[in-house]
Copies of this chain bind each other. A is one copy, B any other.
């Protein structure tokens, strides 16, 4: 079977996720790009340093805002290996991300196509374009392996 190639930014997000697993963190990775330029790459890191907000998306958005010198990442896109939770979807909206690409869906914790569906509320001030599924097998496999190894 021939599959569409995974975009370079999603490959980098998957690599970041893989590295997180090696560090004992839940393997999720995120990349912020502006056009063809990678602005920030981050992995999930909630254990070291201890940070309940240390999801890959939050860390990538913070880093990108610091680098670009603007709290609004207008024109930037976010690639992440897992469907964002409510916290991260809210942050994506605050950051004015133009396009959100995520790999695996997350029925348990996702808040884009599941649960709170943050972007679908009238209250949501900025909605990114959303694309899902590219790289989902790779992203889901990283998570499955991680949790299987920890049982």
Give CA–CA (A60, B119) in the complex, Å.
Answer: 25
**Which B residues touch A51, using CB under 8 A?**
62, 65-66, 71
Contact B50 A116 (CB under 8 A): no
Give CA–CA (A62, B58) in the complex, Å.
Answer: 12
Chain B min CB distance to A39 (Å): 13
Chain B min CB distance to A135 (Å): 23
Give CA–CA (A91, B55) in the complex, Å.
Answer: 10
- The secondary-structure label for the interface of chain A is loop
Classify chain A's interface size. Answer: 35 or more
Is A108 located at the chain interface by the 8 A CB criterion?
yes
Chain B min CB distance to A97 (Å): 9
Number of copies: 2
**Which B residues touch A14, using CB under 8 A?**
none
A47-B71, A91-B53 as given contacts; A116 in contact with B121, CB under 8 Å: yes
Give the residue among A46, A71, A116, A125 with the most B Cβ atoms within 10 A.
Answer: A116
Contact with B along A80-104 (1 / 0, CB 8 A): 0000011111110111100000000
Is A70 located at the chain interface by the 8 A CB criterion?
yes
Query: Which of B50, B73, B87 contacts A91 (CB under 8 A)?
Result: B87
Is A118 located at the chain interface by the 8 A CB criterion?
yes
**Interfacial residues of chain A within 120-146, with CB under 8 A of chain B in the complex:** 121-125
- Would you give 10 A-B contacts (Cβ < 8 Å), ordered by A? A46-B71, A50-B70, A52-B62, A52-B65, A53-B53, A53-B58, A87-B90, A90-B90, A109-B125, A115-B124
